[in-house]
Protein backbone atom coordinates (compact mmCIF):
# COMPACT_ATOMS: atom_id res chain seq x y z
CA UNK A 1 0.00 0.00 0.00
CA UNK A 2 2.87 2.37 0.83
CA UNK A 3 4.45 1.63 -2.51
CA UNK A 4 1.19 2.24 -4.34
CA UNK A 5 0.62 5.36 -2.26
CA UNK A 6 3.93 6.83 -3.41
CA UNK A 7 3.08 6.15 -7.05
CA UNK A 8 -0.40 7.68 -6.61
CA UNK A 9 1.26 10.80 -5.19
CA UNK A 10 3.62 11.16 -8.15
CA UNK A 11 1.03 10.46 -10.84
CA UNK A 12 -1.67 12.56 -9.23
CA UNK A 13 0.73 15.55 -9.05
CA UNK A 14 1.40 15.18 -12.80
CA UNK A 15 -2.34 14.87 -13.53
CA UNK A 16 -3.12 18.00 -11.49
CA UNK A 17 -0.31 19.92 -13.22
CA UNK A 18 -1.72 18.91 -16.60
CA UNK A 19 -5.20 19.99 -15.52
CA UNK A 20 -3.78 23.34 -14.36
CA UNK A 21 -2.04 23.82 -17.72
CA UNK A 22 -5.26 23.05 -19.53
CA UNK A 23 -7.14 25.65 -17.48
CA UNK A 24 -4.45 28.27 -18.11
CA UNK A 25 -4.64 27.57 -21.80
CA UNK A 26 -8.43 27.84 -21.92
CA UNK A 27 -8.36 31.08 -19.94
CA UNK A 28 -5.73 32.58 -22.22
CA UNK A 29 -7.55 31.52 -25.37
CA UNK A 30 -10.85 32.97 -24.19
CA UNK A 31 -9.20 36.22 -23.12
CA UNK A 32 -7.45 36.44 -26.49
CA UNK A 33 -10.34 35.10 -28.55
CA UNK A 34 -10.34 38.19 -30.78
CA UNK A 35 -6.67 37.76 -31.61
CA UNK A 36 -7.27 34.06 -32.32
CA UNK A 37 -10.10 34.94 -34.72
CA UNK A 38 -8.22 37.83 -36.30
CA UNK A 39 -5.34 35.52 -37.19
CA UNK A 40 -7.74 32.71 -38.22
CA UNK A 41 -6.16 30.38 -35.68
CA UNK A 42 -9.36 28.65 -34.55
CA UNK A 43 -8.47 25.21 -35.92
CA UNK A 44 -4.85 25.48 -34.72
CA UNK A 45 -6.17 26.40 -31.25
CA UNK A 46 -8.62 23.48 -31.40
CA UNK A 47 -5.75 21.14 -32.25
CA UNK A 48 -3.66 22.48 -29.38
CA UNK A 49 -6.62 22.15 -27.04
CA UNK A 50 -7.14 18.55 -28.17
CA UNK A 51 -3.46 17.82 -27.43
CA UNK A 52 -3.76 19.38 -23.98
CA UNK A 53 -6.91 17.45 -23.11
CA UNK A 54 -5.30 14.25 -24.42
CA UNK A 55 -2.42 14.89 -22.04
CA UNK A 56 -4.83 15.44 -19.14
CA UNK A 57 -6.68 12.25 -20.12
CA UNK A 58 -3.46 10.19 -20.28
CA UNK A 59 -2.20 11.39 -16.92
CA UNK A 60 -5.54 10.79 -15.25
CA UNK A 61 -5.70 7.33 -16.81
CA UNK A 62 -2.29 6.63 -15.22
CA UNK A 63 -3.75 7.59 -11.86
CA UNK A 64 -6.84 5.44 -12.48
CA UNK A 65 -4.66 2.48 -13.41
CA UNK A 66 -2.79 2.50 -10.10
CA UNK A 67 -6.04 3.34 -8.33
CA UNK A 68 -7.64 0.20 -9.79
CA UNK A 69 -4.82 -1.97 -8.43
CA UNK A 70 -5.48 -1.25 -4.76
CA UNK A 71 -8.56 -3.45 -4.34
CA UNK A 72 -7.46 -6.50 -6.39
CA UNK A 73 -4.08 -6.51 -4.62
CA UNK A 74 -5.72 -6.50 -1.22
CA UNK A 75 -8.20 -9.17 -2.28
CA UNK A 76 -5.47 -11.42 -3.69
CA UNK A 77 -3.44 -11.07 -0.49
CA UNK A 78 -6.51 -11.80 1.63
CA UNK A 79 -7.35 -14.79 -0.59
CA UNK A 80 -3.77 -16.05 -0.24
CA UNK A 81 -4.03 -15.67 3.56
CA UNK A 82 -7.20 -17.79 3.50
CA UNK A 83 -5.50 -20.39 1.35
CA UNK A 84 -2.49 -20.59 3.62
CA UNK A 85 -4.71 -20.48 6.70
CA UNK A 86 -6.94 -23.31 5.51
CA UNK A 87 -4.17 -25.47 3.97
CA UNK A 88 -1.61 -25.15 6.75
CA UNK A 89 -4.40 -24.99 9.39
CA UNK A 90 -5.87 -28.30 8.14
CA UNK A 91 -2.41 -29.85 8.28
CA UNK A 92 -1.97 -28.65 11.87
CA UNK A 93 -5.40 -30.05 12.81
CA UNK A 94 -4.37 -33.44 11.35
CA UNK A 95 -1.14 -33.24 13.34
CA UNK A 96 -3.21 -32.36 16.45
CA UNK A 97 -1.31 -29.10 16.89
CA UNK A 98 -4.57 -27.16 16.57
CA UNK A 99 -8.22 -27.94 17.34
CA UNK A 100 -10.91 -27.56 14.69
CA UNK A 101 -12.49 -24.81 16.83
CA UNK A 102 -9.23 -22.83 16.86
CA UNK A 103 -8.90 -23.13 13.07
CA UNK A 104 -12.50 -21.95 12.61
CA UNK A 105 -12.07 -18.94 14.90
CA UNK A 106 -8.79 -18.09 13.11
CA UNK A 107 -10.66 -17.98 9.82
CA UNK A 108 -13.48 -15.91 11.29
CA UNK A 109 -10.94 -13.36 12.58
CA UNK A 110 -9.20 -13.35 9.22
CA UNK A 111 -12.55 -12.57 7.57
CA UNK A 112 -13.02 -9.66 9.93
CA UNK A 113 -9.74 -8.15 8.71
CA UNK A 114 -10.81 -7.89 5.05
CA UNK A 115 -12.85 -4.71 5.39
CA UNK A 116 -10.24 -2.80 7.49
CA UNK A 117 -7.55 -3.79 4.99
CA UNK A 118 -9.61 -2.42 2.09
CA UNK A 119 -10.40 0.71 4.09
CA UNK A 120 -6.72 1.33 4.86
CA UNK A 121 -5.92 0.92 1.16
CA UNK A 122 -8.57 3.51 0.27
CA UNK A 123 -7.36 5.79 3.03
CA UNK A 124 -3.78 5.71 1.75
CA UNK A 125 -5.03 6.37 -1.76
CA UNK A 126 -7.14 9.37 -0.76
CA UNK A 127 -4.48 10.77 1.59
CA UNK A 128 -1.83 10.64 -1.11
CA UNK A 129 -4.10 12.52 -3.54
CA UNK A 130 -4.83 15.09 -0.85
CA UNK A 131 -1.16 15.51 -0.04
CA UNK A 132 -0.28 15.91 -3.75
CA UNK A 133 -2.90 18.70 -4.02
CA UNK A 134 -1.70 20.26 -0.78
CA UNK A 135 1.88 20.34 -2.11
CA UNK A 136 0.68 22.44 -5.03
CA UNK A 137 -1.21 24.86 -2.81
CA UNK A 138 1.67 25.21 -0.33
CA UNK A 139 4.08 25.89 -3.16
CA UNK A 140 2.02 28.96 -4.05
CA UNK A 141 1.40 30.06 -0.48
CA UNK A 142 5.06 29.70 0.49
CA UNK A 143 6.29 31.84 -2.41
CA UNK A 144 8.43 34.48 -0.74
CA UNK A 145 7.69 38.05 -1.88
CA UNK A 146 10.33 39.41 -4.27
CA UNK A 147 10.51 42.53 -2.18
CA UNK A 148 10.16 42.11 1.57
CA UNK A 149 10.19 44.69 4.33
CA UNK A 150 13.60 45.53 5.81
CA UNK A 151 13.97 44.22 9.39
CA UNK A 152 13.44 47.62 11.04
CA UNK A 153 11.13 49.14 8.43
CA UNK A 154 9.34 52.27 9.59
CA UNK A 155 5.96 53.72 8.78
CA UNK A 156 6.23 57.22 7.43
CA UNK A 157 3.98 60.11 6.48
CA UNK A 158 3.81 60.96 2.76
CA UNK A 159 7.17 62.47 1.85
CA UNK A 160 7.80 66.14 1.14
CA UNK A 161 10.60 65.21 -1.25
CA UNK A 162 11.47 62.18 -3.35
CA UNK A 163 15.09 62.13 -4.45
CA UNK A 164 16.97 59.88 -6.84
CA UNK A 165 20.71 60.26 -6.09
CA UNK A 166 22.91 58.98 -8.86
CA UNK A 167 20.57 56.00 -9.01
CA UNK A 168 21.09 52.96 -11.26
CA UNK A 169 18.78 49.99 -11.52
CA UNK A 170 18.70 46.70 -13.38
CA UNK A 171 15.78 44.26 -13.70
CA UNK A 172 16.63 40.84 -12.29
CA UNK A 173 16.47 39.30 -15.77
CA UNK A 174 18.19 42.12 -17.62
CA UNK A 175 21.81 42.01 -18.79
CA UNK A 176 22.27 45.79 -18.81
CA UNK A 177 21.35 48.64 -16.48
CA UNK A 178 17.82 49.84 -17.26
CA UNK A 179 18.25 53.09 -15.32
CA UNK A 180 21.61 54.80 -15.34
CA UNK A 181 22.83 57.46 -12.92
CA UNK A 182 19.49 59.14 -12.40
CA UNK A 183 19.62 62.29 -10.28
CA UNK A 184 16.27 63.91 -9.76
CA UNK A 185 14.21 65.49 -7.03
CA UNK A 186 10.44 65.93 -6.79
CA UNK A 187 8.85 68.06 -4.09
CA UNK A 188 5.39 67.57 -2.70
CA UNK A 189 2.75 69.31 -4.80
CA UNK A 190 4.84 69.26 -7.96
CA UNK A 191 3.92 67.66 -11.25
CA UNK A 192 6.76 65.79 -12.91
CA UNK A 193 6.50 64.91 -16.58
CA UNK A 194 8.52 62.02 -17.98
CA UNK A 195 8.80 61.74 -21.75
CA UNK A 196 11.01 59.80 -24.11
CA UNK A 197 10.84 57.20 -26.83
CA UNK A 198 9.43 53.71 -26.20
CA UNK A 199 11.77 51.57 -24.12
CA UNK A 200 13.62 54.63 -22.80
CA UNK A 201 12.92 53.71 -19.17
CA UNK A 202 9.92 55.88 -18.29
CA UNK A 203 7.92 53.07 -16.68
CA UNK A 204 11.04 51.67 -15.05
CA UNK A 205 11.67 55.02 -13.37
CA UNK A 206 8.11 55.23 -12.04
CA UNK A 207 8.09 51.60 -10.91
CA UNK A 208 10.96 52.31 -8.55
CA UNK A 209 8.43 54.04 -6.32
CA UNK A 210 6.09 51.06 -6.34
CA UNK A 211 8.77 48.76 -4.89
CA UNK A 212 7.97 45.93 -7.28
CA UNK A 213 11.66 45.05 -7.53
CA UNK A 214 14.58 45.31 -5.10
CA UNK A 215 16.03 48.84 -5.19
CA UNK A 216 18.84 49.70 -7.56
CA UNK A 217 22.39 48.55 -6.89
CA UNK A 218 24.03 51.98 -7.20
CA UNK A 219 23.01 55.30 -5.68
CA UNK A 220 19.96 55.86 -3.55
CA UNK A 221 16.26 56.57 -3.76
CA UNK A 222 15.30 58.70 -0.78
CA UNK A 223 11.94 59.75 0.59
CA UNK A 224 12.44 62.67 2.96
CA UNK A 225 16.08 61.61 3.22
CA UNK A 226 15.29 57.99 4.18
CA UNK A 227 16.15 55.19 1.72
CA UNK A 228 12.84 53.93 0.36
CA UNK A 229 13.67 50.30 1.22
CA UNK A 230 13.79 51.23 4.93
CA UNK A 231 10.16 52.34 4.82
CA UNK A 232 7.50 49.67 5.31
CA UNK A 233 6.07 48.49 2.02
CA UNK A 234 2.44 49.07 3.01
CA UNK A 235 3.32 52.61 4.06
CA UNK A 236 4.89 53.37 0.65
CA UNK A 237 1.96 51.84 -1.23
CA UNK A 238 -0.48 53.80 0.92
CA UNK A 239 0.87 57.06 -0.52
CA UNK A 240 0.57 55.94 -4.12
CA UNK A 241 -2.13 55.79 -6.73
CA UNK A 242 -0.89 53.97 -9.81
CA UNK A 243 -2.56 53.92 -13.21
CA UNK A 244 -0.72 51.73 -15.73
CA UNK A 245 -1.21 51.78 -19.48
CA UNK A 246 -3.11 48.50 -19.60
CA UNK A 247 -6.08 49.39 -17.47
CA UNK A 248 -7.34 46.40 -15.52
CA UNK A 249 -11.06 46.51 -14.85
CA UNK A 250 -13.08 43.91 -12.99
CA UNK A 251 -16.10 42.31 -14.63
CA UNK A 252 -18.55 44.30 -12.52
CA UNK A 253 -20.42 47.55 -13.07
CA UNK A 254 -18.58 50.79 -13.81
CA UNK A 255 -19.64 52.12 -10.42
CA UNK A 256 -18.27 49.09 -8.57
CA UNK A 257 -15.01 49.51 -10.44
CA UNK A 258 -14.85 53.16 -9.43
CA UNK A 259 -15.65 52.36 -5.83
CA UNK A 260 -13.03 49.60 -5.74
CA UNK A 261 -10.74 51.36 -3.26
CA UNK A 262 -13.25 53.91 -1.98
CA UNK A 263 -16.42 52.00 -1.12
CA UNK A 264 -18.01 54.94 0.69
CA UNK A 265 -17.33 57.66 -1.89
CA UNK A 266 -20.29 60.06 -2.16
CA UNK A 267 -22.23 60.36 -5.44
CA UNK A 268 -20.94 63.96 -5.71
CA UNK A 269 -17.36 62.74 -5.48
CA UNK A 270 -18.03 60.16 -8.18
CA UNK A 271 -19.47 62.88 -10.42
CA UNK A 272 -16.37 65.01 -9.79
CA UNK A 273 -13.93 62.31 -10.85
CA UNK A 274 -16.08 61.35 -13.84
CA UNK A 275 -15.87 64.93 -15.02
CA UNK A 276 -12.14 65.08 -14.34
CA UNK A 277 -11.65 61.93 -16.42
CA UNK A 278 -13.94 63.29 -19.17
CA UNK A 279 -16.30 60.35 -18.79
CA UNK A 280 -19.66 62.11 -18.40
CA UNK A 281 -20.44 62.15 -22.12
CA UNK A 282 -19.53 58.47 -22.49
CA UNK A 283 -21.74 57.51 -19.58
CA UNK A 284 -24.75 59.09 -21.28
CA UNK A 285 -24.25 56.69 -24.17
CA UNK A 286 -24.08 53.59 -21.98
CA UNK A 287 -27.38 51.72 -21.59
CA UNK A 288 -27.37 51.74 -17.79
CA UNK A 289 -25.05 54.66 -17.03
CA UNK A 290 -22.91 53.90 -14.01
CA UNK A 291 -24.62 50.52 -13.61
CA UNK A 292 -23.40 49.29 -17.00
CA UNK A 293 -21.47 46.05 -16.75
CA UNK A 294 -18.00 46.36 -18.20
CA UNK A 295 -17.77 42.68 -19.19
CA UNK A 296 -14.81 40.44 -18.55
CA UNK A 297 -11.68 42.63 -18.31
CA UNK A 298 -13.72 45.52 -19.72
CA UNK A 299 -14.37 43.92 -23.12
CA UNK A 300 -17.45 46.03 -23.77
CA UNK A 301 -15.51 49.31 -23.52
CA UNK A 302 -13.10 51.03 -25.85
CA UNK A 303 -9.44 51.22 -24.87
CA UNK A 304 -9.76 54.93 -24.08
CA UNK A 305 -12.86 54.39 -21.94
CA UNK A 306 -11.14 51.64 -19.98
CA UNK A 307 -8.15 53.87 -19.36
CA UNK A 308 -10.31 56.77 -18.23
CA UNK A 309 -12.31 54.57 -15.85
CA UNK A 310 -9.04 53.26 -14.39
CA UNK A 311 -7.91 56.86 -14.02
CA UNK A 312 -11.16 57.88 -12.31
CA UNK A 313 -10.75 54.91 -9.95
CA UNK A 314 -7.35 56.27 -8.88
CA UNK A 315 -8.57 59.89 -8.67
CA UNK A 316 -11.42 58.98 -6.34
CA UNK A 317 -8.91 57.96 -3.68
CA UNK A 318 -6.98 61.21 -4.16
CA UNK A 319 -3.62 59.63 -3.41
CA UNK A 320 -0.71 61.70 -2.12
CA UNK A 321 1.38 60.63 -5.07
CA UNK A 322 -0.42 59.89 -8.32
CA UNK A 323 1.54 57.91 -10.90
CA UNK A 324 0.18 57.93 -14.45
CA UNK A 325 2.22 55.53 -16.52
CA UNK A 326 1.21 56.31 -20.09
CA UNK A 327 -2.27 55.98 -18.65
CA UNK A 328 -3.94 57.89 -21.47
CA UNK A 329 -2.21 56.37 -24.48
CA UNK A 330 -5.58 55.38 -26.02
CA UNK A 331 -7.20 58.77 -25.37
CA UNK A 332 -6.99 61.48 -28.00
CA UNK A 333 -4.49 64.27 -27.44
CA UNK A 334 -7.03 66.99 -26.75
CA UNK A 335 -8.95 64.99 -24.18
CA UNK A 336 -5.69 63.98 -22.56
CA UNK A 337 -4.69 67.63 -22.26
CA UNK A 338 -8.08 68.45 -20.69
CA UNK A 339 -7.79 65.59 -18.23
CA UNK A 340 -4.27 66.59 -17.25
CA UNK A 341 -5.41 70.15 -16.69
CA UNK A 342 -8.35 69.01 -14.54
CA UNK A 343 -6.04 66.78 -12.52
CA UNK A 344 -3.61 69.63 -12.00
CA UNK A 345 -6.37 71.84 -10.68
CA UNK A 346 -7.79 69.21 -8.36
CA UNK A 347 -4.45 68.09 -7.00
CA UNK A 348 -2.91 71.23 -5.59
CA UNK A 349 -0.52 70.28 -2.83
CA UNK A 350 -0.29 66.69 -4.05
CA UNK A 351 2.40 65.15 -6.19
CA UNK A 352 1.68 63.87 -9.69
CA UNK A 353 4.10 61.93 -11.88
CA UNK A 354 3.10 61.56 -15.53
CA UNK A 355 4.91 59.38 -18.05
CA UNK A 356 3.59 59.93 -21.53
CA UNK A 357 4.58 59.84 -25.15
CA UNK A 358 2.62 63.06 -25.86
CA UNK A 359 4.41 66.25 -25.03
CA UNK A 360 1.11 68.16 -24.83
CA UNK A 361 0.33 66.34 -21.58
CA UNK A 362 3.35 67.79 -19.79
CA UNK A 363 3.24 71.39 -21.01
CA UNK A 364 2.36 72.61 -17.53
CA UNK A 365 4.42 70.20 -15.50
CA UNK A 366 6.73 71.86 -12.98
CA UNK A 367 9.62 69.80 -14.29
CA UNK A 368 10.02 67.54 -17.27
CA UNK A 369 12.67 64.87 -17.76
CA UNK A 370 13.43 63.37 -21.14
CA UNK A 371 14.57 59.77 -20.80
CA UNK A 372 16.77 58.04 -23.34
CA UNK A 373 18.28 54.60 -22.95
CA UNK A 374 17.79 54.63 -19.17
CA UNK A 375 19.40 58.05 -18.70
CA UNK A 376 18.03 61.52 -18.25
CA UNK A 377 18.91 63.09 -21.59
CA UNK A 378 17.37 66.51 -21.00
CA UNK A 379 15.45 68.14 -18.19
CA UNK A 380 13.82 71.43 -17.36
CA UNK A 381 10.51 73.20 -17.74
CA UNK A 382 8.68 73.18 -21.06
CA UNK A 383 10.13 76.60 -21.86
CA UNK A 384 13.71 75.48 -21.01
CA UNK A 385 13.42 72.38 -23.14
CA UNK A 386 11.89 74.24 -26.06
CA UNK A 387 14.88 76.51 -26.20
CA UNK A 388 17.46 73.73 -25.94
CA UNK A 389 16.85 72.41 -29.46
CA UNK A 390 16.95 68.75 -28.41
CA UNK A 391 14.68 65.72 -28.82
CA UNK A 392 11.93 67.38 -26.75
CA UNK A 393 11.67 70.39 -29.01
CA UNK A 394 11.71 68.31 -32.20
CA UNK A 395 9.12 65.93 -30.82
CA UNK A 396 6.87 68.76 -29.66
CA UNK A 397 6.98 70.46 -33.05
CA UNK A 398 6.34 67.17 -34.85
CA UNK A 399 3.38 66.27 -32.63
CA UNK A 400 1.93 69.76 -32.96
CA UNK A 401 2.16 69.56 -36.74
CA UNK A 402 0.31 66.23 -36.72
CA UNK A 403 -2.31 67.00 -34.09
CA UNK A 404 -2.16 70.54 -32.73
CA UNK A 405 -3.11 70.81 -29.07
CA UNK A 406 -2.59 74.33 -27.83
CA UNK A 407 -3.37 75.45 -24.38
CA UNK A 408 -6.74 73.90 -23.69
CA UNK A 409 -9.59 76.07 -22.39
CA UNK A 410 -10.86 75.47 -18.89
CA UNK A 411 -12.63 72.22 -18.38
CA UNK A 412 -16.37 72.72 -18.54
CA UNK A 413 -19.23 70.32 -18.38
CA UNK A 414 -19.93 70.36 -22.09
CA UNK A 415 -16.37 69.28 -22.77
CA UNK A 416 -17.05 65.58 -23.29
CA UNK A 417 -19.73 66.31 -25.89
CA UNK A 418 -17.50 68.72 -27.73
CA UNK A 419 -14.65 66.24 -27.86
CA UNK A 420 -16.70 63.23 -28.89
CA UNK A 421 -19.15 64.98 -31.21
CA dihedral 282, 286, 288, 292 (to 10 degrees): -90
Q: Which one, of 239, 235, 242, 241, lies nearest residue 149 by Cα?
A: 235
CA pair distance 53, 23, nearest whole angstrom? 10
Give the shortest CB-386-to-ligand ADP separation in angstroms: 21
CA pair distance 368, 383, nearest whole angstrom? 10
Among 13, 163, 204, 305, binds ligand ADP (CB under 6 A): 204
Among 202, 308, 334, 382, binds ligand ADP (CB under 6 A): 202
Give the shortest CB-19-to-ligand ADP separation in angstroms: 29
**Is the CB of 204 or the CB of 395 nearer to ligand ADP?**
204
**Is the CB of 195 or the CB of 222 nearer to ligand ADP?**
195
Q: Which stretch binds ligand ADP (CB under 6 A): 167-175, 279-287, 304-312, 358-366?
A: 167-175
**Is the CB of 209 or the CB of 279 nearer to ligand ADP?**
209
Among 173, 175, 263, 421, binds ligand ADP (CB under 6 A): 173
3-state secondary structure of 193: strand
Among 159, 196, 241, 416, binds ligand ADP (CB under 6 A): 196
Spatial contact of 12 and 128, defined as CB atoms under 8 Å apart:
yes
393: left (phi over 0), alpha (psi -120 to 50) or beta: alpha
**Is the CB of 316 or the CB of 331 nearer to ligand ADP?**
331
Spatial contact of 252 and 291, defined as CB atoms under 8 Å apart:
no
Among 23, 97, 155, 174, binds ligand ADP (CB under 6 A): 174
For residue 70, the surrounding DSSP H or E stretch is helix 42-94
224: left (phi over 0), alpha (psi -120 to 50) or beta: left
Among 13, 60, 163, 203, binds ligand ADP (CB under 6 A): 203
All residues at 6 or more sequence positions from 259 whose CB lies less than 8 Å from its CB, including other chains: 265, 270, 316
Provide φ and ψ at 43, rounded to 5°: -70, -35
Give the shortest CB-248-to-ligand ADP separation in angstroms: 17
3-state secondary structure of 155: coil
Q: Which stretch binds ligand ADP (CB under 6 A): 24-32, 94-102, 111-119, 194-202?
A: 194-202
Give the shortest CB-325-to-ligand ADP separation in angstroms: 7
CA dihedral 314, 317, 321, 326 (to 10 degrees): 10
Q: Which stretch binds ligand ADP (CB under 6 A): 172-180, 215-223, 266-274, 375-383?
A: 172-180
Among 52, 125, 178, 352, binds ligand ADP (CB under 6 A): 178
**Is the CB of 202 or the CB of 313 nearer to ligand ADP?**
202
Binding mask 326-365 for ligand ADP (x = CB under 6 A): ----------------------------------------
**Is the CB of 174 or the CB of 288 nearer to ligand ADP?**
174
- CA distances 91 to 87, 96, 326, Å, are 6, 9, 91
CA pair distance 35, 106, nearest whole angstrom? 72
Asked if residue 225 binds ligand ADP (CB under 6 A), the reply is no
Residues forming the site for ligand ADP (CB under 6 A)? 171, 173-174, 178, 196, 198-204
Amino acid sequence: MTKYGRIVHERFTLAQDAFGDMNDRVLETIAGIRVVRAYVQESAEERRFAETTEDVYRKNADVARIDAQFEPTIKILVGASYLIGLGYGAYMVFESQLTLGQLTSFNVYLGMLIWPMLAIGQLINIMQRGSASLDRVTETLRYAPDVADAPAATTQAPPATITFCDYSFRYPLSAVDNLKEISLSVRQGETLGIVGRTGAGKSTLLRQLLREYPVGHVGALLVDGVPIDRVALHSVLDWMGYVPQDAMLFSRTIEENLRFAAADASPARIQDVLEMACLTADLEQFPNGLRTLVGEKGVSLSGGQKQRIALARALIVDPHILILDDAMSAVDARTEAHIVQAIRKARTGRTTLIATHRISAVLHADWVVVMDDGRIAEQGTHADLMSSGGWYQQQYLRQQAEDPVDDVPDLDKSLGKEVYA
